[in-house]
Amino acid sequence: MPEIPDLNIFRKNLISKLVGKTLSKLTILIDRQLKVPEAALKEAFEGQVLTDIKRVGKELHFSFGNGHQLGVHLMLHGTMYWYEVKNEYRFTIAELLFDDGTGLAITDWQKAVILTLDPKPVKVPDAMAMPAGYLKKVLPKSSHLIKTVLTEGKTVIGIGNAYVDEILYEAKISPFSIANKIPEENIDVLTKAIKTVLTKAEHHILKNFPDTITEKERDFLQVHRPRETQTLSGEEILKAEIKKRKTYYTADQVLFE
């Protein structure tokens, strides 16, 4: 699943190529996840100028001149590709064709990509824009595992399965720690780790895949390494499952319970 570092790069490159252009045609090839008829999407967006693209958590919101927004959640396997005039990519969910012939194909072999007409405002902060002391206020109220709290989208948005493992590894906190058992000083470390890990990851992707809207770069990750037995530092990677999420961590991550 693309997370904050990936989506920030995707957003930049999409803006560079699409903003200011008019959407000539929107085609929905698979409507399994649509909550409104295709006709409603076409009416809202066709013939409109794309004015901006924002990242909201793990979604991209395409804003058009008439005030409507198209929300795109790529889910686990959703991918975007450029095409010129004609799209030949398999498993296409939707095609956005602009007035200069530039096309954007949104694909997903699992057919799980979610497209939303005018997404509702999000009430919790983004992981990269948390108010000062925010986690100190909210974590003591939760008796859930810290990995669940950081990924479920009810406390903070934008963090997914891969990067939460990286963040907890950086903070040296076990993913099995109970949120309200984590001491204040460790919450400070966790808060810093969130920004550090996500910022470094974005810089890495920007350096190695500056023009990408498809790559979900993971080879540089420290502990979330499904095919490896050791971290980049040589520590043994322990593997488990938390609420059906594959989880990777090390023995020196402290368990608070």
Same domain, 54 and 8: yes
CATH number at residue 51: 3.20.190.10
Residue 128 lies in a domain: no
**CATH number of the CATH domain containing 233:** 1.10.8.50
List the chain pLDDT tens, one digit each, 257 residues: 899 999 999 999 999 999 999 999 999 999 999 999 999 999 999 999 999 999 999 999 999 999 999 999 999 999 999 999 899 999 999 999 999 999 999 999 999 999 999 999 999 999 999 999 999 999 999 999 999 999 999 999 999 999 999 999 999 999 999 999 999 999 999 999 999 999 999 999 999 999 999 977 788 999 999 999 999 999 999 999 999 899 999 999 999 99
Q: Could you give the CA distance from residue 184 to residue 79 in angstroms, rounded to a whole number?
A: 39
257 occurs within a structural domain: no
Q: How many independent structural domains does the chain possess?
A: 2
Range of the domain at 74: 4-117
Residue 255 in domain: no
Contact 40, 61 (CB under 8 A): no
151 located within any domain: yes
- Has residue 234 been placed in a domain? yes
Domain check: are 186 and 236 in the same one?
Answer: yes
Sign, Cα dihedral of 139, 144, 148, 153: negative
Residue 13 sits in the same domain as residue 112: yes
Is 124 inside a domain boundary? no
> In 132-183, which residue ranges form alpha helices assigned H by DSSP?
134-138, 146-151, 161-171
According to the model, what pLDDT value does residue 5 have?
95
Q: At 254, phi and psi to the nearest 5?
A: -75, 135
For residues 81 and 184, membership in a common domain is answered with no
pLDDT confidence of residue 169: 98
* Contact present, 62 and 69 (Cβ < 8 Å): yes
DSSP, res 233: T
The torsion of the CA quartet 176, 157, 8, 247, rounded to 10 degrees, works out to 20
Q: pLDDT tens for residues 204-238?
A: 999 999 999 997 778 899 999 999 999 999 999 99
